Amino acid sequence: MQSINDLPNATRKRLVQLEELLKSWSGEKITSAKICELTGWKDSLVRHDLWLIKSTVVEPVETTAEHGDFRGWKNGYNTADLLAAVQSINKSETQNVCIAGLGRLGAALLDNSLFDGSHFVIKAGFDSNVNRVEILRSTFPLYPASDMNWVIKQEKITLAILAVADKDAQSMCDRLVKAGIKGIVNMTRMVLSVPEGIKIENLSVLNALKMIT
């Protein structure tokens, strides 16, 4: 079965969003037109993704006895069955994550319950300010940035959330990559330079606001 990691980045993002949409959808069925309406995606993209789900889910997903296989619907898809199919593609192994930068933005992520129900586990938080590390409380260990290299290796951390000040973003990014991080969620406004093979997802709130105004 094809993994979500094998898909183009834009398709992966839509499938993740589609999973969340289906979780919150209360209707027994949902049509491609309704998905277009709720997401703002073009009809061609939705049809492509639904075709992809049909062709990718080779092994039968568990479907409701009343409605059967979600692929048989012509006037809408059974919500539960479509969700099960999308989740079978999105499913991934547990991945360990760290937070780099524990200022106001990073500290807001110290509530580990934000990641409940996901396959991501926060293993550590790092900050260059030792006093901040000692004062903050978290359900996972907090370390000075100087410990980053050995902690990331020891805890087998592969992903990082970067929440430092903009001026420190590139240098902290370099340290994360050197320590073995393979993917970074960049919550700063900076455009980061990374070696080939390192994935970056930019989530700056200010930049996002600029895109919708």
Is residue 2 pLDDT above 60, yes or no?
Answer: no
Which residues form the domain of 81?
A: 4-90
Is residue 134 pLDDT above 70, yes or no?
Answer: yes
Residues 71 and 162 in one domain: no
pLDDT band at 68 (very low <50, low <70, confident <90, very high): very low
Bridge partner list, 161: 99, 185
Looking at 90, 115, 143, the residue that finishes a domain is 90
Residues 46 and 11 in one domain: yes
Is residue 92 pLDDT above 80, yes or no?
Answer: no
Looking at 57, 90, 123, the residue that finishes a domain is 90
- Output 204 or 70, whichever has higher pLDDT: 204
pLDDT band at 60 (very low <50, low <70, confident <90, very high): very low
CATH number of the domain that 75 lies in?
1.10.10.10
pLDDT at 153: 96
Residues 152 and 70 in one domain: no
- Output 92 or 150, whichever has higher pLDDT: 150
- Looking at the 3D structure of the chain, how many domains does it have? 2
CATH number of the domain that 180 lies in?
3.40.50.720
Residues 8 and 55 in one domain: yes
Is residue 65 pLDDT above 50, yes or no?
Answer: no
pLDDT at 130: 94
What mean pLDDT comes out for the span 6-28? Answer: 86
Residues 49 and 150 in one domain: no
Looking at 90, 106, 128, the residue that finishes a domain is 90
Is residue 69 pLDDT above 80, yes or no?
Answer: no
Is residue 56 pLDDT above 90, yes or no?
Answer: no
Instruction: For tokens 């592969």, name the residue.
Output: 158
Query: What are the distances in angstroms from CA 47 to CA 44, 68, 117?
Result: 5, 21, 28
Is residue 194 pLDDT above 90, yes or no?
Answer: yes
Q: What string of H, E and C letters represents the secondary structure of the chain?
A: CCCHHHCCHHHHHHHHHHHHHHHHCCCCEECHHHHHHHHCCCHHHHHHHHHHHHHHCCCCCCCCCCCCCHHHCCCCEEHHHHHHHHHHHHCCCCEEEEEECCCHHHHCCCCHHHHCCCCEEEEEEEECCHHHHHHCCCCCCEEEHHHHHHHHHHCCCCEEEECCCHHHHHHHHHHHHHHCCCEEEECCCCCCCCCCCCEEEECCHHHHHHHCC
Residues 99 and 85 in one domain: no
What mean pLDDT comes out for the span 168-176? Answer: 97
Is residue 143 pLDDT above 50, yes or no?
Answer: yes
What mean pLDDT comes out for the span 78-93? Answer: 83
